[in-house]
């Protein structure tokens, strides 16, 4: 499940993707325009900066900008940075794998089903860029309702 941290991080990244190239956004503006608690957003942006997804400039004319163009940033990378593994359980994770103590992993139906879930989530998040995500609310809203 996407946490508030992940949701707010996606909203902040979408905000930055909507800025003119090279135009920094202030944390206070991002927070106010997206209904995100400013203190929480500070921590989120710090994590995104440490992951190389955003850059910050201090002082007059400072703020945050995307570290790469929006069409080069995968949504899955943002979610993993803020929320960790996509898999519902660790034994089904690619990047954060950890075996369970209580089952035969190769034949465990729970693990096998959660591995399918992980792959489906990964397919959606890793196949879409931040630039593509920006267009969802504008053009695909009615289509999305039918798929949910």
Regarding whether 18 and 56 lie in a shared domain, the answer is: yes
Could you tell me if residue 148 is inside a domain?
A: no
Q: DSSP secondary-structure letter at 57?
A: E
d(CA 62, CA 14): 18
Could you tell me if residue 138 is inside a domain?
A: no
pTM of the model: 0.85
Q: pLDDT-based confidence at 96, cuts 50/70/90?
A: confident
Q: Which tokens sit at 109?
A: 């139906």
33: left (phi over 0), alpha (psi -120 to 50) or beta: alpha
pLDDT in tens, 61-78: 789 999 999 999 999 999
Could you tell me if residue 140 is inside a domain?
A: no
Regarding whether 36 and 19 lie in a shared domain, the answer is: yes
Q: pLDDT-based confidence at 146, cuts 50/70/90?
A: very low
Task: Give the residue numbers spanning the domain of 105.
Answer: 74-128
Regarding whether 84 and 47 lie in a shared domain, the answer is: no
Closest by CA to 65, choosing from 28, 103, 98, 18, is: 18
Could you tell me if residue 136 is inside a domain?
A: no
pLDDT in tens, 37-56: 999 999 999 999 999 999 99
The four Cα atoms 115, 118, 124, 129 give a dihedral, to 10 degrees, of -130
If DSSP codes are grouped into helix, strand and coil, which group holds residue 18? coil
Could you tell me if residue 141 is inside a domain?
A: no
């Amino acid at each position: 499940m996407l946490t508030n941290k992940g949701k707010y991080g996606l909203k902040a990244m979408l905000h930055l993707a909507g800025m003119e190239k090279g135009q920094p956004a202030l944390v206070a503006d991002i927070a106010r325009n997206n209904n995100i608690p400013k203190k929480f957003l500070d921590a989120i942006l710090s994590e995104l900066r440490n992951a190389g997804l955003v850059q910050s400039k201090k002082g007059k004319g400072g703020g945050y900008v995307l570290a790469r163009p929006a069409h080069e940033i995968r949504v899955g990378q943002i979610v993993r940075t803020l929320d960790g593994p996509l898999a519902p359980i660790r034994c089904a994770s690619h990047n954060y794998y950890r075996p369970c103590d209580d089952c035969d992993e190769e034949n465990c139906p729970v693990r096998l089903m959660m591995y399918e879930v992980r792959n489906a989530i990964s397919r959606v998040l890793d196949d879409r860029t931040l630039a593509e995500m920006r267009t969802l609310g504008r053009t695909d809203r009615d289509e999305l309702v039918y798929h949910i």
